[in-house]
A and B are shown apart, each in its own frame.
Chain A
């Protein structure tokens, strides 16, 4: 399966980017790349099902909107 990134640029200037077919922690490598490509800053991130499929543990320094404190 090809690795893809879908970038949606909204009319109000906000941007959503979603990695597709990239499992595990490798998806995090694309965050700084996207910031450079888009000349933008990340304000929120969330892991989705494919990340969980490739990795058991989240990096302790990474915050996600889905993560709940234990």
Chain B
């Protein structure tokens, strides 16, 4: 052992909590783009493509748009995710939505998104290790669902 580092994938923001309700705003909600009273929910999610996959995996209907936003519905709740200046996505939901249900949507989506990120990072390691002179020696999945890959780096110039 010589150095231990903690990293956060660029698809996730390190500084944000998993979910935080930011309060009332006027914003487009759902697919029609019409602005109305809404609540904004801050997330740590950043990648629209992974977000659509995550939303679909939890039973939502979701569509990404050319401006990077993602709209759709989940169990009757219309939503639209839009980018903030820091690259994270906030969810806009109808103001009359039950806040607990809104948080449930964000939490299940966050969990599915995190799983998608985990899968994507592991696949990236498998795909790119060889290009960087590394060899995947082993791969294990632990009880907590974490994935550990051990790379041999003898061929990497340092």
Contact = CB atoms under 8 A, between A and B. Distances in A.
A15 B3 contact: no
Contacts of B124: 37-39
**Which of under 10, 10 to 19, 20 to 34, or 35 or more describes the interface residues of A?**
35 or more
**Which of under 10, 10 to 19, 20 to 34, or 35 or more describes the interface residues of B?**
35 or more
B2 A17 contact: no
Contacts of B10: 39-41
A24 B7 contact: no
A70 B152 CA distance: 37
B3 A35 contact: no
A18 B10 CA distance: 19
B7 A40 contact: yes
Interface in B27-70: none
B117 interface: yes
A34 B158 CA distance: 13
- Chain A contact residues: helix, strand, loop or mixed: mixed
Contacts of A2: 152, 154
B146 A48 contact: no
A13 B153 contact: no
27 contacts: A3-B152, A5-B153, A7-B151, A8-B146, A9-B148, A10-B118, A10-B146, A11-B118, A11-B145, A12-B114, A13-B118, A19-B1, A19-B2, A22-B2, A26-B2, A31-B3, A33-B156, A36-B132, A37-B134, A38-B124, A40-B8, A40-B10, A43-B7, A43-B8, A49-B1, A50-B1, A51-B3
A-B complex: 4 closest residue pairs judged by Cβ atoms: A27-B2, A40-B7, A50-B2, A48-B1
